[in-house]
């Protein structure tokens, strides 16, 4: 039996972001009612038109603001399904204690406070991260790999998984956890490798490269497909979401330079901070009946064209 | 060594404080309440209140060794009910402490067997999968993870004790099986057993829990260690021993419930920490009953 999306009330936290905005559009196509929760109504980005034309509801709420969550609670009474994308913050010092406090406030307490308001949930989907594995004990990394976060960001994601799991068991609400690898593609506003490389390549600036590193990059449209499939399944599940293919940072950079026809020079750094990473995606492939479709070339063209338009 | 003990007025803290004083080990005590054994260097402070902690920064600056016992114990499972307070004390309280202790070199954090959830197999080793089913167990598991990242980042020596259920104190842990059994049998009432009474647990006697800390103070060996008892009695065993010690013949009442064995593997603590519990269940129960009858 699959979960029927049409007519259901979805709440998407962090809904103005890359995954959130695409998912909002996809859920609307499937005739769902969508409420997006975000911390800034003046920065709605791609969902602005949908809010202005009242196709979706927007609730302004910072999940670290306990009073605000309680105030907007009545607007969330009818939520059937929570898609918890919970936005990520990049800190100047990611492993400082103030960052640790922030992950506790936003990830753990924000989640608990939100759940206090959602009393009729029929399903929860949470997007976690490969950061829960830290430096994985083995590659390709499957879902049984030991949990050893090496960052407070990873701690916050892991903690959220576990508090959600406790809630799911206690209230009998199915919970899907997707540990997503590196997402790329259009609307990528992150300060990650591909946007940085792309912006510099478009300006023909020299680009610093850490040798040795590699990653499992998944295009946004494949992520959306995985999320939609998981919502329809709506069972207690944990999946690693990636492509199962690793590309070296060097390869990605060369591709970007090639696509942008850039004159950028590659500055090779001797010391590498990045490690190898690739997922074993066999569980997701089998149970969600999905297979990443977008090739790295097509995906990079998609993201680069978007960045060009932003300039 | 400049030692800080949090939760100094609590169940373990009180007895530990006495032992430290007897062994001439100076320490600073900290607790949100002030009761029981109080040493000269005691501060009544709430670890959830960062500014209060900061007022004592000059004292805490010198601390290089932390024994972090302070904790909010709550066995509930509904995070929407007790989750926030548990996170505030156990997770955020720990981070607050770390902020006020800039010169730490060693941390001992007392965690719980409840980080594992229902055992997939017994005995439960430290590598057992973690699926806690209580708010308390979840908060401890999460605090462990934050501490591990912090210790790694700062090069701090970190030891985590995952204590088995502790017995030996009548006034505390009042909702646990052993004190309840003793109280009911003493007054001739039938104790209630959930399930068939055949499930085993390696209950940890309080003196052994304290000894493990004293061993750690001496060697400070890092790692995660299960700290549990030697014997793994069933609930029926417990009732029969308590009856025997109190010269009673009270029969239990059985109530249907899904129960499971929970026996922690304590071999790593023996090998690496050089700690082994000494108290057999019969002796521990005798001792507990004596304390109760006093």
Closest residue, chain B, to A114 (C-alpha) = B80
SS3 B112: strand
B256 touches chain A (CB under 8 A): no
In angstroms, the CA A110 to CA B211 distance is 39
What pLDDT shows up at residue A87?
Answer: 66
Name the more confident of A62 and B37: A62
Provide mean pLDDT across the span A165-185.
97
Task: Say yes or no for a CB contact (<8 Å) between A163 and B133.
Answer: no
Nearest to A83 by CA among A226, A220, A184, A219: A226
What pLDDT shows up at residue A269?
Answer: 81
What pLDDT shows up at residue B170?
Answer: 67
B108: β partners: B67, B159
Contact B66, B124 (CB under 8 A): no
**Does the pLDDT at position B37 exceed 90?**
no
In angstroms, the CA B42 to CA B30 distance is 6
**Does the pLDDT at position A95 exceed 80?**
yes
Q: pLDDT per residue over B104-134, tens digit each?
A: 999 999 999 999 999 999 999 999 999 999 9
What pLDDT shows up at residue A274?
Answer: 61
Task: Say yes or no for a CB contact (<8 Å) between A166 and B132.
Answer: yes
In angstroms, the CA B137 to CA B131 distance is 9
Q: pLDDT per residue over A179-216, tens digit each?
A: 999 999 999 998 889 999 999 999 999 999 876 789 99
What pLDDT shows up at residue A94?
Answer: 79
B76 touches chain A (CB under 8 A): no
Task: Say yes or no for a CB contact (<8 Å) between A100 and B150.
Answer: yes
In angstroms, the CA B252 to CA B192 distance is 6
Contact B229, B237 (CB under 8 A): no
Task: Say yes or no for a CB contact (<8 Å) between B83 and A163.
Answer: yes
pTM for this one?
0.96
B19 touches chain A (CB under 8 A): no
Contact A183, A157 (CB under 8 A): no
A240: β partners: A179
Q: Average pLDDT, whole number, for chain A?
A: 94
Q: Which of B95, B97, B146 to probe by mutation at the A interface, max A CB count within 10 Å?
A: B146
Residue B177's alpha-carbon distances to B25, B227, B256, B266, in angstroms, are 34, 19, 16, 22
Residue B138's φ and ψ, nearest 5 degrees, are -65, -45
Q: How does strand A33-38 pair with strand A9-13?
A: parallel
Question: A152: which chain B residues are within 8 Å (Cβ-Cβ)?
Answer: 146, 149
C-alpha distance across the termini of chain B, in Å: 37
Q: pLDDT per residue over B226-283, tens digit each?
A: 999 999 999 999 999 999 999 999 999 999 998 999 999 999 999 999 999 999 999 9
**Does the pLDDT at position B174 exceed 80?**
no
SS3 of B151-202: the string is: HHHHCCEEEEEEECCEECCCCCCCCCHHHHHHHHHHCCCCCEEECCCCCEEC
In angstroms, the CA B58 to CA B245 distance is 51
Q: pLDDT per residue over B212-224, tens digit each?
A: 999 999 999 999 9
In angstroms, the CA B183 to CA B188 distance is 9
What pLDDT shows up at residue B193?
Answer: 95
Closest residue, chain A, to B149 (C-alpha) = A150
B235: β partners: none
Q: Average pLDDT, whole number, for chain B?
A: 95
- Percentage of chain A beyond pLDDT 70 is 96
Q: pLDDT per residue over B49-106, tens digit each?
A: 999 999 999 999 999 999 999 999 877 899 999 999 999 999 999 999 999 999 999 9
Question: B130: which chain A residues are within 8 Å (Cβ-Cβ)?
Answer: 147, 162
Closest residue, chain A, to B133 (C-alpha) = A166
Residue A139's alpha-carbon distances to A129, A201, A215, A244, in angstroms, are 16, 31, 11, 10
Provide mean pLDDT across the span A88-109.
86
What pLDDT shows up at residue A90?
Answer: 64
Provide mean pLDDT across the span A282-292.
95
Contact B135, B83 (CB under 8 A): yes
In angstroms, the CA B202 to CA A8 distance is 49
- Percentage of chain B beyond pLDDT 90 is 90
Residue B173 — pLDDT band, cuts 50, 70, 90?
low
- Percentage of chain B beyond pLDDT 70 is 98
Residue A271 — pLDDT band, cuts 50, 70, 90?
low
Residue A273 — pLDDT band, cuts 50, 70, 90?
low
Q: pLDDT per residue over A152-161, tens digit each?
A: 999 999 999 9
What pLDDT shows up at residue A163?
Answer: 98
Contact A185, A298 (CB under 8 A): no
Q: pLDDT per residue over A29-72, tens digit each?
A: 999 999 999 989 999 999 999 999 999 999 999 999 999 999 99
**Does the pLDDT at position B23 exceed 90?**
yes
In angstroms, the separation between the Cα of residue A131 and the nearest Cα of chain B is: 12
Name the more confident of A275 and B203: B203
Least CB–CB distance from A112: residue in B79, B99, B148: B79
> What order do you get walking across the sheet with B65-68 strand by strand?
B42-44, B27-31, B3-6, B65-68, B106-112, B157-163, B223-227
Token reading at A219: 């295009």
In angstroms, the CA A78 to CA A75 distance is 8
């Amino acid at each position: 039996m699959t979960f029927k999306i049409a007519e259901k009330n979805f709440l998407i936290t962090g809904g103005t972001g890359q995954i959130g905005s695409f998912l909002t559009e996809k859920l609307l196509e499937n005739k769902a009612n969508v409420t997006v929760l975000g911390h800034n109504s003046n920065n709605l980005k791609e969902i602005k038109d949908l809010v202005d034309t009242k196709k979706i509801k927007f609730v302004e709420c910072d999940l670290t603001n306990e009073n605000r969550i309680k105030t907007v609670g009545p607007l969330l009474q009818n939520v059937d399904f929570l898609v918890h994308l919970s936005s990520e913050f990049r800190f100047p010092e990611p492993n400082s204690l103030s960052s640790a406090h922030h992950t506790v406030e936003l990830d753990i307490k924000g989640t608990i406070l939100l759940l206090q308001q959602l009393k009729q949930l029929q399903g929860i989907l949470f997007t976690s991260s490969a950061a829960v594995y830290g430096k994985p004990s083995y590659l390709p990394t499957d879902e049984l790999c030991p949990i050893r976060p090496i960052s407070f960001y990873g701690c916050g994601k892991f903690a959220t998984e576990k508090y959600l799991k406790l809630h799911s068991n206690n209230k009998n609400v199915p919970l899907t956890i997707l540990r997503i690898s590196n997402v790329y593609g259009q609307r990528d506003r992150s300060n990650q490798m591909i946007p940085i490389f792309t912006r510099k390549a478009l300006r023909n600036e020299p680009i610093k490269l850490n040798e040795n590193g590699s990653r499992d990059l998944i295009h946004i449209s494949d992520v959306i497909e995985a999320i939609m499939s998981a919502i329809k399944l709506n069972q207690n599940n944990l999946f690693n979401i990636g492509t199962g293919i690793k590309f070296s940072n060097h390869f990605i950079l060369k591709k970007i330079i090639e696509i942008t026809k850039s004159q950028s020079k590659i500055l090779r750094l001797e010391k590498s901070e990045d490690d190898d990473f690739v997922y074993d995606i066999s569980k997701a492939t089998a149970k969600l009946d999905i297979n990443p479709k977008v090739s790295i070339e097509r995906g990079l063209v998609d993201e680069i064209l978007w960045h060009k338009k932003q300039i | 060594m400049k030692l800080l003990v949090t939760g100094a007025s609590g169940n373990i803290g009180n007895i530990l404080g006495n032992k430290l004083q007897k062994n001439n080990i100076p320490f600073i005590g900290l607790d949100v309440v002030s009761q029981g054994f109080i040493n000269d260097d005691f501060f009544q402070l709430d670890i959830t209140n960062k500014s209060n902690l900061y007022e004592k920064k000059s004292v805490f600056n010198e601390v290089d060794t932390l024994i972090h016992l302070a904790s909010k114990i709550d066995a509930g499972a509904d995070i929407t009910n007790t989750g926030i307070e548990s996170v505030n004390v156990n997770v955020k309280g720990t981070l607050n402490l770390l902020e006020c202790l800039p010169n730490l070199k060693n941390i001992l954090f007392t965690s719980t067997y409840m980080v594992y959830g229902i055992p997939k197999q017994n005995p439960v080793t430290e590598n057992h999968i973690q699926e806690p089913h209580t708010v308390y167990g979840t908060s401890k598991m999460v605090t462990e993870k934050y501490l591990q990242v912090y210790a790694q980042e700062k090069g701090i020596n970190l030891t985590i004790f995952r204590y088995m259920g502790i017995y030996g104190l009548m006034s505390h842990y009042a909702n646990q099986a052993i004190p309840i059994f003793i109280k009911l049998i003493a007054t001739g009432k039938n104790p209630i057993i959930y399930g068939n009474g055949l499930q085993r647990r390696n209950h940890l006697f309080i003196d052994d829990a304290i000894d493990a800390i004293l061993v750690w103070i001496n060697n400070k060996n890092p790692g995660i260690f299960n700290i549990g008892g030697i014997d793994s009695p069933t609930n029926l065993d417990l009732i029969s021993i308590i009856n025997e010690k109190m010269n009673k013949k009270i029969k239990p009442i059985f109530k249907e419930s899904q129960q499971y064995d929970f026996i922690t593997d304590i071999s790593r603590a023996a090998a690496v920490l050089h700690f082994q519990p000494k108290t057999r269940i019969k002796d521990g129960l005798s001792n507990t009953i004596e304390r109760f009858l006093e």
